[in-house]
Amino acid sequence: MGMFEWTPKSSDVLQDGGVIGPDERLPWAQTGLMGIQHVIAMFGSTVLAPILMGFDPNLAVLMSGIGTLIFFIITGGKVPSYLGSSFAFIGVVNVATGYVASHGANANIGVALGGIIACGLVYMLVGVLVQAIGTGWIERFMPPVVTGAVVAVIGLNLAGIPIKNMASNNFESWMQALTFLSVALVAVFTRGMLQRLLILIGLLVASVLYAVFTNMLGWGKPVDLSGVANAAWFGIPSFHAPVFSTNAMLLIVPVVIILVAENLGHIKAVTAMTGKNLDQYMGRAFIGDGVATMVSGAAGGTGVTTYAENIGVMAATRIYSTAVFFVAALLAVLLGFSPKFGALIQAIPLPVMGGVSIVVFGLIAIAGAKIWVDNKVDFSDIKNLIVAAITLILGTGEFTLKFGEFALGGIGCATFGAIIMYALLAMGDRPSETKVQNK
């Protein structure tokens, strides 16, 4: 079947608990509604990441749509996936540019963009290699104990951002707590669509409460919606040109390891859910994500990656049609050209965004632990225990190694450290002698 050809399925299939596969689709009206849901699912993280790096969230949404279309074309419309802003770039971008999270526009954004483009290029080349020789070599260098630790470190490394930078007084700290409590209550006590939109619903509830406490009771900095009222419905986002700095590129390129791990996990997850082996598209998926990241960086957007939020929606709905992601991408492009949408994002109170960040970063950390659980990583094996333990502390504590003018920060040290340590320790692996004795 062609890229834009899907086998039509009746909506009656859903009532029988049926599955809509990647090469099938519902009637276009329902496909459109599913596309909206996927846009909402990616929305929170895709706009949060650029805000934390000082990028334009409108442009990030636009480039996420364009990136998803690029991915769709390169994979031949065979892999159901949405590409949104990657959180793996936040730590290294902020170090490379000297930016303090959530403090307006990033003055050194060009340096970050050069690094993002370089990372995308390496990612694309990894895809070309995988297309040529398969994925076995990646899985050998990055077994689940390594990928789980690296993914967990992404969340843990970012933990200080909402705690230290997004609440300036006691009231704002309480608002952060109220926000993550709102998200938690939505997650546990709602069902169906509401439960799937836990980040968005929690954010809305907390924003309303914040407005009541500040605008009505005068307890803190009031919500200012004048920017939303004055913004145009349609306009061009702020594009930026890249600057290629060797130091920044060396700092940011290691993120490719995380992107490969995320994409690998995404395709394995969708394969497990659909029962259709998508491994043959792995190389094309890496190439698509790499090209999308380069295009985004060239315009001034964030690096992009396959989104776990959208995997969650697919798992809940059992609708894996790639037509849904084609529609979602087109909707994101339209939203990217609306300054009013961007102004609305900027009007969200910083403490509320901080509370949401605590949840999102925590979920990333737990996703790493889930990789260990799903793959039954054996922590009675001292090799696995040592690799995971050291990796977590290197990344969380921002362990840094300097090579002349170049500094490799926490996530980079943790990522390379995990890969090198595992390869080194595996050489002396003697199972009978490397089990931790349970007392």
Chain-centroid distance, C-alpha 400: 24
Fill in the amino acid letter for 343: A
DSSP tag of 209: H
Asked whether the beta carbons of 6 and 321 are under 8 A apart, the reply is yes
Residue (of 56, 353, 43) closest to 207 by Cα position: 353
Q: Which residue has the tokens 């895809």?
A: 127
Do 68 and 328 touch, CB atoms closer than 8 A? Answer: yes
Q: Which two tokens stand for residue 113?
A: 């963009």
CA angle, residues 90, 394, 437, in degrees to nearest 5:
135
**Closest to 281 in 3D by CA, of 64, 70, 112, 127:** 127
C-alpha span between 151 and 103 (Å, rounded): 26
How far is 340 from 330, CA to CA, in rounded Å?
A: 18
Q: Which residue type, as a one-letter code, is found at position 219? A: W
Per-residue pLDDT tens listing for the chain (439 residues): 566 778 777 766 655 556 777 887 888 888 888 888 788 767 777 887 898 888 888 899 999 999 999 999 999 988 888 999 988 888 788 888 888 766 678 888 999 999 999 999 999 999 999 989 887 877 788 888 988 888 788 778 878 878 887 788 888 899 999 998 998 898 888 876 576 567 778 888 999 999 999 888 888 888 888 888 888 888 888 889 998 888 889 888 888 877 887 787 777 777 777 777 777 888 999 999 999 999 999 999 999 988 766 776 777 677 888 889 999 999 999 888 888 877 777 788 888 888 887 887 787 788 788 888 888 999 999 999 999 999 999 989 988 887 765 667 777 788 888 989 999 998 876 554 445 444 4
Distance CA 130, CA 136 (A): 9
**In Å, what is the CA distance from 311 to each residue of 77, 119, 206, 430?**
16, 24, 26, 38
Q: What is the CA radius of gyration of the chain?
A: 21
SS3 218: coil
Contact 122, 253 (CB under 8 A): yes
- What does pTM read for this prediction? 0.72
Q: Which residue has the tokens 């921002």?
A: 398
Cα–Cα distance measured from residue 71 to residue 333, given in angstroms and rounded to the nearest whole number:
14
